[in-house]
Amino acid sequence: DAGVTQSPTHLIKTRGQQVTLRCSPKSGHDTVSWYQQALGQGPQFIFQYYEEEERQRGNFPDRFSGHQFPNYSSELNVNALLLGDSALYLCASSDILAGFDTQYFGPGTRLTVL
């Protein structure tokens, strides 16, 4: 059973560019959450998708957007990249009906903005 997978592993972009990160959830999971981990910080919640809709959103600007597909996979898009967007982006999946839904994390995508 494949766990949560993310692509790409690493990415280098320049300021002002746009980036798309991808996530495939663990088999049987229908909910995907995205987190940003900046250096020295714990992961910060960006947003969560369920049934192809944004269910909950953290304190991130509109430059951060996402999408969930019918197969439950998800994308995170960041427009007009800033230096401060350099971070590890983690995707987590869960089964929203499982109760106390433990979120299972992927290995992350390391984004560097130059």
Name the site residues for another protein (rule: CB under 8 A).
3-4, 31, 33, 35, 40-45, 48, 50, 55-56, 58-59, 90, 92, 94, 96, 99-108
Q: Of 81 and 91, which has the nearer Cβ to another protein?
A: 91
Q: Of 19 and 43, which has the nearer Cβ to another protein?
A: 43
DSSP string, 10-48: EEEE-TT--EEEEEEPPTT--EEEEEEE-TTS--EEEEE
The C-alpha atoms of residue 18 and residue 1 are separated, in whole angstroms, by 32
The C-alpha atoms of residue 22 and residue 111 are separated, in whole angstroms, by 12
CB of residue 8 to another protein, shortest distance in Å: 15
CB of residue 26 to another protein, shortest distance in Å: 11
